[in-house]
Amino acid sequence: MNPTISDEALRQIFLEARTHNGWLDKPVTEDQLRELYDLMKWGPTSANSSPARFVFIRSQQAKERLRPTLSSGNVDKTMAAPVTVIVAYDLLFYEKLTKLFPHKPAMRDLYVSSASFAEETARRNSSLQGAYLMIAARVLGLDCGPMSGFDNAKVDEEFFGGSQVKSNFLCNIGYGDHSKLMPRLPRLDFDEACTIL
């Protein structure tokens, strides 16, 4: 394999990157979050729909609003993380297609005519965008701790107030405390996970 990026970059983004549960007391700035978004937004989505919406929770007050929605095993690490991102999706994402997909305005009508198709598209593509967010964070020298283990309905009520925006997953972001890492877990080999036809 001849990657077009350095071995160091591959290690930082994938090979040595870890899911963090412990965090250093080092802030992540608003400028860093803006840089993070401006990098990840270029990842592809269906019809350039970009349905993900991100809530970056940094303040203690906002963390306390999140606390009751978390599973018990996720409370301490989330309260300690410099930032927790709610990766969500907008069910009415297609209202922005006139800007995002201007060369084919009829695309909007496909989603308007089928709420289930719109929701499926929004959920799938916001998951992709959440993955782009994590890769971009690693590129920028930040660590990530993505997680389920929370009550989606409570998060939606608390942060999205009955709107058309729905939570997908959470991701803690900051500077991981490497002293709190457990041994790296295995992954499936190619032949266990892949088929070539």
Picking from 193, 33, 51, 41, the residue whose alpha carbon sits closest to that of residue 120 is: 51
Query: With a threshold of 0.75, does the pTM exceed it?
Result: yes
Percentage of the residues of the chain whose pLDDT score is greater than 90: 96
Mean pLDDT over the full length of the chain: 96
Percentage of the residues of the chain whose pLDDT score is greater than 70: 98
pLDDT of amino acid 4: 86
β-partners of residue 56 are: 85
CA distance 61 to 68: 13
CA distance 67 to 57: 11
Contact 63, 79 (CB under 8 A): yes
17 falls within a domain: no
54 falls within a domain: yes
pLDDT of amino acid 132: 98
190 falls within a domain: no
What mean pLDDT comes out for the span 4-16?
92
12 falls within a domain: no
pLDDT tops 80 at residue 2: no
What mean pLDDT comes out for the span 82-87?
98
β-partners of residue 85 are: 56, 171
pLDDT, tens digit (0-9, with 9 covering 90-100), for 137-155? 999 999 999 999 999 999 9
Per the structure, the count of domains in the chain is 1
pLDDT tops 70 at residue 1: no
Dihedral over alpha carbons 157, 133, 192, 16 (to 10 degrees): -130
Q: Which range of residues forms the domain containing residue 135?
A: 27-179
19 falls within a domain: no
Indicate the DSSP class of residue 4: S
Name the residue with higher pLDDT: 4 or 113: 113
What mean pLDDT comes out for the span 36-50?
98
What mean pLDDT comes out for the span 149-172?
97
149 falls within a domain: yes
pLDDT tops 80 at residue 123: yes
CATH assignment of the domain containing 137 = 3.40.109.10
4 falls within a domain: no
Contact 50, 100 (CB under 8 A): yes
58 falls within a domain: yes
